Chain A
Amino acid sequence: MAAEEFVMQVWRGDAAGGAFKEYRVPAGEGMVVLDVIHAIQARHASDLAVRWNCKAGKCGSCSAEINGKPRLMCMTRMNSLDTSEPITVAPMKTFPLIRDLVTDVSFNFEMAKRVPAFKPRPKEADGTYRMQQEDIDRVQEFHKCIECFLCQNVCHVIRDHDENKRYFAGPRLFVRYAALEMHPLDTNDRRELLKERMGLGFCNITKCCTEVCPEHIHITDNAIIPLKERVVDEFYDPLARLVRKITGKKS
C-alpha cells in the first residue's frame, strides 16, 4: 500500500549549528525527494534553503545526502525509498554549510580556475576541424558531467580531511583534466601539474566517486586511472620519454 503522507527529517541550521526537523506532507504519485522539499517550503517552512534548477537531472544543483547516500533530490523517487521510516535529507558534508541544504561549493569553482585552458591545434585548410566519432567517444563521456559535485562530496581524500583541499583537485576536476588531455585537438600538457599540485596520487581508486555519479561516468576507470598511467609514463618511464622527445608525440 502506498503511503498517504511522507515523513521527512530535513537538516535545518547554518554554520553555527542545527538539527534535523521533522515534516509531514501528503503523498502524491511519482513524487521525488525535491517535490517533498518544495511541499515543505509551501506548507511549513517558506525559508527552507535548497538549491535546484532543472528538476530533471540535467543541471546538477540539488545534490544532498538522502538517508545518508549522496544523490540528486530531483532524480530520487520517493517510491524507491522505504517510506515506512522517516526519510532523512542532509546537506553535502564535504563543503562548508551555508544554510539548511545549501553548501558553499566554491572550492570546485576555484579548482576549475586553475585548470590550464584548452589549446587547440591549427585548423584544416577549410577553416574547420575534422575528428572521427570513435576518437571523441571517450571525451564525450566526460563532457556528460553536470557538476553536481557528488563525486567531490563522497571522495574520502577531502571528505574527512579538509586540509587536503589545498592539494587535491578531486574526481570532478580529474574528469575535466582527462577530457582535456584526451581531447583530439588539445596541445597543452597538464601532467606535471596533476602530479605536483593537483594530488592525483592521493586517489587510491576506491571508486566511491564512480558509484555516486548520476551520469554514470566511469570516473575511476576511464578518467583517473588513465591519467595516473600518463603521469607514470611521463615521469617514471625513461624509454617512453625518450621516444616522445624524438617523435614529439603525446601518448
Chain B
Amino acid sequence: MATDGKYESHEYDVIVIGAGGAGLRAAIEASAQGAKTALICKSLLGKAHTVMAEGGIAAAMGNIYPEDNWKVHFRDTMRGGKLLNNWRMAQIHAQEAPARVLELEEWGALFDRTKDGRILQRDFGGHRYARLAHVGDRTGLEMIRTLQQHAVHKGIDVFMECTIARLLKDGDKVCGAFGYWRESGRFIAFRSKAVVLATGGVGKAWKITSNSWEYTGDGIAMAMDAGADLIDMEMVQFHPTGMVWPPSVRGILVTEGVRGDGGTLKNSENKRFMFNYIPEFFRAETAETEKEADAWYEDKKNRRTPDLLPRDEVARAINAEVKAGRGTAHGGVFLDIASRRSADYIQKRLPSMYHQFKELAGVDITKEAMEVGPTCHYIMGGVRVDGDTTATTVPGLFAAGEVAAGLHGANRLGGNSLSDLLVFGRRAGHHAAEYAKKLTGRAAVGEDQIAAVSQELLAPFHGEGGENPYSIHMELQDCMQSLVGIIRTESELKKALGEIDRFKERTKRIAVEGNRQYNPGWHLALDLRTMLAISEACTRSALERKESRGGHTRDDYPKTDPNLGKVNVVIRKRNGELTLTQEARPEMPDDLKQLLEEQK
C-alpha cells in the first residue's frame, strides 16, 4: 500500500534515462559497444518530445549548395548562439552531423529528395545555406521512429512508463538510479556502472509552451542533486511562432519551416515589420528591403530575409510589435504564407501545419494568415559536459541532448537540436560504454539512499494541508511566464524567487487522492519538485547575468557586455544550497577564431 517501500532491482553496464532522439541514439551506441544497456522512459516508446520536431535536421551535406561545409555550419551555430557556445561542441556537431543523417537513412529513414535523388535540404533561420534534411514538416517523427525500430531490432531492454526520480551514488561516483513504474506505482532500482541523462528540457514550468507534460527538468534537477555543475540556466529559448488562438492551443509550435518556405511575418497594419528589427550583429548579411528579401528565396547569393533572423531576435521583435499595439486581436502577429505560395505547395511542404490549423483553429493556411506569438520552447542551459565525451562533472554520469548545455550557447538555431541529439547521443553512448568497461567490481548502493528516496516519493500520500498539485503548477507557470519570460528585470526576478520559495513550502502540504496505480496527481506532485528546482536555478542565473544576450534579455541591462561573453554562470548544489559563480570559458583556438572572421 501507500507506505510500501519495496522495490525490484536490475543491473546494467549502462542505463539511459530518456528515449527521445538523444536517449535512443545513446542506447544504440552503448549496446553496439557491447555494454549491457537499458533504456528508460516516462512515456511509451516513440512518444518523446523528438516526435514533435517539425522542420528538420541541420547538417552541412552541401546537397543544395556545394559551398556549404562544416566550417560555415560551425560559424552559423556560434553566431546564432551569440558566441557563448562551447566551441568544441559546435565544431564536433558541425563536423559529424552529415554522417549521422546518412546513418539514419541506412537504418530506413526516408527524407524528401532532390531531383537527382539525394537528400533535400531546407532553409531555416540563421543557417546561411539550405541545410535541413527533412520529411515535410514531420522530421522528428521520421527520426524517432527510425531510431526506435533500430533499437528494438538490436534487442535493447526498454522500460516504458517508468519515471526515474533520483540518481544513486557510491562515494563520488554515480552507480544507478531509482524511480517508479507509472502503471503500478511500484518502485524500481537500477544498479549501473554508467548513467546517460537524455531527459530533455524544462518548458512545463512556463504557461505558454510548446512542451509536453514530460518537460519538467527531471534530468537537470537530478544531476544537480547528484553534485553536477549546471551552466547557462538563464538561457531559455522562446520560439517566435507558437499558436495563439484559440486559448486551448496557445503555445503549440508552428514550424520555422513556414518562414523557410516563403512565409512572412506581418503586423496588424499589414507591414512586414522584421525590417525594423535587424540588429547590428546581423546587418551585413540581412536584406534591407522586401524586394531584396524575396530575391533571397530564389537565389541564396542574395542577403537573407530578416524573417529568418535567429529565434531570439524574431521573438523579441514580435513581443515589441504586440506591446506597441500592432498585434492581432488575440495578442499575436500574422504569419502569412497563403498570399505567397500556392495551395499545392503549402500542403506538400507543410502538411501537418495545414492539418493542425484546420483542425484546432478552424484556419485554412492556404487561404488565410496564421496568428502566432512566442512560446517557451527550449533551454540552451543545463548540465555542464565535456565537449568530446559528454561526461558531466560527476564520474559515471553523462548527458546528451537538451538536458546538456554548451552547444547552443545563448540561443539555439532551428534544426540544430535534432542533429545535436544524434551527434552527442552517439558520443554519450560510446563514452558511457567505455567508462563502464574500465570499471571493475560492483558498486555499493546504500540502502539508506533508497529508503530516503522512497519516503520522499510517498510523502504526497501523507500530506496534510490539502494543497492541490494542479493549482500550484498553474501558479508556477503564471509566475515564470510573467516574471522570468522573454524580457526580464531585477525586481521581477527577485519577486519570482520569493514566489518560488512559497511554492516550495506549499508543495510540502500537497495531499494527493487515490492510490499508486497510474495516478497523474501523484506524478505531478513529484514533478513539481524538479520544476521548482530548475525554476529557481533559471531565475538565479538570470539575476546573475547582468546583460542581454541571446535567449536572455534584461530590460535593466539591454546591452551585450563583452566581458560577460567570456564567462558561464555556473550553478552547484552543496549541502542543499545553490551556489552561483562566473567561470571563464576556455579560449577558442586561432584556427576556429579565424573561421568566425573569414565567414562574416
Residues from chain A with Cβ under 8 Å of B361 in the complex = 30
Residues from chain A with Cβ under 8 Å of B45 in the complex = 109
Indicate which residue in A46, A51, A100, A136 contacts B44 across the interface (CB closer than 8 Å).
Answer: A51
- Whole-angstrom distance between the alpha carbons of A112 and B151 in the complex? 11
Contact code string A73-107 (vs B, CB < 8 Å = 1, else 0): 00101000000000000000000001110100100
- Whole-angstrom distance between the alpha carbons of A128 and B114 in the complex? 13
Is residue B300 contacting chain A, with contact meaning CB distance below 8 A?
Answer: no
Residues from chain B with Cβ under 8 Å of A247 in the complex = none
Is residue B595 contacting chain A, with contact meaning CB distance below 8 A?
Answer: no
Q: How far is the CB of B10 from chain A (nearest CB, A)?
A: 18
Q: Count how many chain A residues have C-beta atoms less than 8 Å from C-beta atoms of the other chain.
A: 60
Is residue B238 contacting chain A, with contact meaning CB distance below 8 A?
Answer: no
Residues from chain A with Cβ under 8 Å of B388 in the complex = none
Indicate which residue in B49, B52, B141, B514 contacts A47 across the interface (CB closer than 8 Å).
Answer: B514
- Whole-angstrom distance between the alpha carbons of A102 and B517 in the complex? 11
Residues from 101 to 149 in B contacting A, C-beta threshold 8 Å: 102, 105-108, 110, 112-113, 116-119, 135-136, 138, 140-142, 145, 149
Q: Flag if B247 contacts A30 (CB, 8 Å).
A: yes
Is residue B518 contacting chain A, with contact meaning CB distance below 8 A?
Answer: yes
Indicate which residue in B46, B183, B212, B360 contacts A75 across the interface (CB closer than 8 Å).
Answer: B360
Q: Flag if B113 contacts A133 (CB, 8 Å).
A: yes
Is residue B599 contacting chain A, with contact meaning CB distance below 8 A?
Answer: no
Q: Flag if A47 contacts B47 (CB, 8 Å).
A: no
Residues from chain A with Cβ under 8 Å of B136 in the complex = 140
Which residue of chain B is the closest to A216 with respect to CB atoms? B355
Contact code string A126-162 (vs B, CB < 8 Å = 1, else 0): 0111111100100110011111000000000000000
Q: Flag if A46 contacts B468 (CB, 8 Å).
A: yes
Residues from 70 to 108 in B contacting A, C-beta threshold 8 Å: 102, 105-108
Q: Flag if B47 contacts A131 (CB, 8 Å).
A: no
Quick check: which of A113-121, A191-199, A221-229 contacts chain B, the rest being far away?
A113-121
Which residue of chain A is the closest to B145 with respect to CB atoms? A143
Q: Flag if B248 contacts A32 (CB, 8 Å).
A: yes
Q: How far is the CB of A148 from chain B (nearest CB, A)?
A: 10
A54 in contact with B135 given A29-B247, A32-B360, A41-B521 (CB within 8 Å): no
Q: How far is the CB of A213 from chain B (nearest CB, A)?
A: 12
Is residue A35 contacting chain B, with contact meaning CB distance below 8 A?
Answer: yes
Is residue B28 contacting chain A, with contact meaning CB distance below 8 A?
Answer: no
Residues from chain A with Cβ under 8 Å of B149 in the complex = 112, 115, 117-118
Residues from chain A with Cβ under 8 Å of B7 in the complex = none
Q: Flag if A46 contacts B517 (CB, 8 Å).
A: no
Residues from chain B with Cβ under 8 Å of A58 in the complex = 51-52, 138, 140-141, 352
A113 in contact with B152 given A30-B248, A53-B213, A183-B108 (CB within 8 Å): yes
Is residue A56 contacting chain B, with contact meaning CB distance below 8 A?
Answer: yes
Which residue of chain B is the closest to A52 with respect to CB atoms? B213
Q: How far is the CB of A108 from chain B (nearest CB, A)?
A: 9
Quick check: which of B164-172, B412-420, B469-477, B546-554 contacts chain A, the rest being far away?
B469-477
Q: Flag if A47 contacts B252 (CB, 8 Å).
A: no
Is residue A42 contacting chain B, with contact meaning CB distance below 8 A?
Answer: yes
Residues from 457 to 510 in B contacting A, C-beta threshold 8 Å: 468-471, 474
Is residue A242 contacting chain B, with contact meaning CB distance below 8 A?
Answer: no
Residues from chain A with Cβ under 8 Å of B46 in the complex = 59, 147
Residues from chain B with Cβ under 8 Å of A128 in the complex = 102, 105, 118-119
Is residue B571 contacting chain A, with contact meaning CB distance below 8 A?
Answer: no
Q: Flag if B360 contacts A77 (CB, 8 Å).
A: yes
Is residue A48 contacting chain B, with contact meaning CB distance below 8 A?
Answer: yes
A120 in contact with B514 given A46-B468, A77-B360, A143-B145 (CB within 8 Å): no
Q: Flag if B142 contacts A143 (CB, 8 Å).
A: yes
Indicate which residue in A41, A54, A123, A127 contacts B520 across the interface (CB closer than 8 Å).
Answer: A41
Is residue B383 contacting chain A, with contact meaning CB distance below 8 A?
Answer: no
A54 in contact with B44 given A131-B113, A133-B113, A143-B135 (CB within 8 Å): no
Is residue B556 contacting chain A, with contact meaning CB distance below 8 A?
Answer: no
- Whole-angstrom distance between the alpha carbons of A120 and B150 in the complex? 13
Indicate which residue in A30, A102, A118, A146 contacts B360 across the interface (CB closer than 8 Å).
Answer: A30
Is residue B279 contacting chain A, with contact meaning CB distance below 8 A?
Answer: no
Residues from chain B with Cβ under 8 Å of A100 in the complex = 518
Is residue A60 contacting chain B, with contact meaning CB distance below 8 A?
Answer: yes
Residues from chain B with Cβ under 8 Å of A29 in the complex = 246-248
Q: Count how many chain B residues have C-beta atoms less than 8 Å from C-beta atoms of the other chain.
A: 66
Q: Flag if A47 contacts B520 (CB, 8 Å).
A: yes
A53 in contact with B47 given A58-B141, A75-B360 (CB within 8 Å): yes
Indicate which residue in A60, A77, A99, A147 contacts B518 across the interface (CB closer than 8 Å).
Answer: A99
Which residue of chain A is the closest to B250 with respect to CB atoms? A30
Residues from chain B with Cβ under 8 Å of A42 in the complex = 468, 470-471, 474
- Whole-angstrom distance between the alpha carbons of A60 and B471 in the complex? 27
Is residue A25 contacting chain B, with contact meaning CB distance below 8 A?
Answer: no
Q: How far is the CB of A89 from chain B (nearest CB, A)?
A: 15
Q: How far is the CB of A138 from chain B (nearest CB, A)?
A: 10
Q: Is the interface of A mostly helix, strand, loop or mixed?
A: loop
Q: How far is the CB of A123 from chain B (nearest CB, A)?
A: 8
Q: How far is the CB of B92 from chain A (nearest CB, A)?
A: 20
- Whole-angstrom distance between the alpha carbons of A83 and B44 in the complex? 32
Residues from chain A with Cβ under 8 Å of B44 in the complex = 51, 61, 105, 109
Residues from chain A with Cβ under 8 Å of B513 in the complex = 45-47
Q: Flag if A112 contacts B152 (CB, 8 Å).
A: yes
Indicate which residue in B43, B102, B113 contacts A132 across the interface (CB closer than 8 Å).
Answer: B113
Residues from chain B with Cβ under 8 Å of A120 in the complex = 106, 108
Is residue B519 contacting chain A, with contact meaning CB distance below 8 A?
Answer: yes
Residues from chain A with Cβ under 8 Å of B470 in the complex = 41-42, 46
Q: Flag if A59 contacts B247 (CB, 8 Å).
A: no
A57 in contact with B110 given A42-B474, A47-B521, A47-B522 (CB within 8 Å): no
Is residue B512 contacting chain A, with contact meaning CB distance below 8 A?
Answer: yes
Residues from chain B with Cβ under 8 Å of A53 in the complex = 43, 47-49, 51-52, 212-214
Residues from chain B with Cβ under 8 Å of A112 in the complex = 149, 152
A35 in contact with B474 given A57-B356, A143-B145 (CB within 8 Å): no
- Whole-angstrom distance between the alpha carbons of A89 and B216 in the complex? 28
A61 in contact with B47 given A47-B521, A53-B212, A128-B118 (CB within 8 Å): yes
- Whole-angstrom distance between the alpha carbons of A1 and B547 in the complex? 51
Q: Flag if B248 contacts A130 (CB, 8 Å).
A: no
- Whole-angstrom distance between the alpha carbons of A205 and B476 in the complex? 51
Q: Flag if B110 contacts A140 (CB, 8 Å).
A: yes
Q: How far is the CB of A44 from chain B (nearest CB, A)?
A: 10
Q: Flag if B252 contacts A56 (CB, 8 Å).
A: yes
Q: Flag if B107 contacts A131 (CB, 8 Å).
A: no
Q: Flag if B248 contacts A56 (CB, 8 Å).
A: no
Residues from chain B with Cβ under 8 Å of A56 in the complex = 52, 249, 252-253, 356, 360
Is residue B291 contacting chain A, with contact meaning CB distance below 8 A?
Answer: no
Is residue A28 contacting chain B, with contact meaning CB distance below 8 A?
Answer: yes
- Whole-angstrom distance between the alpha carbons of A144 and B137 in the complex? 11
Residues from chain B with Cβ under 8 Å of A50 in the complex = 520
- Whole-angstrom distance between the alpha carbons of A51 and B166 in the complex? 23
Residues from chain A with Cβ under 8 Å of B49 in the complex = 53
- Best-surrounded residue of B48, B468, B512, B520 (most CB of chain A within 10 A): B520
A-B pairs with lowest CB-CB distance, top 3: A30-B246, A46-B521, A47-B514
7 contacts across the A-B interface (CB closer than 8 A): A30-B361, A49-B520, A54-B47, A55-B249, A58-B352, A105-B44, A129-B105
- A-B contact sample (16 more), CB < 8 A, given A49-B518, A100-B518, A113-B152: A14-B517, A30-B360, A32-B360, A46-B470, A46-B512, A46-B520, A47-B515, A49-B519, A52-B212, A54-B52, A55-B252, A56-B356, A56-B360, A117-B149, A128-B105, A186-B108
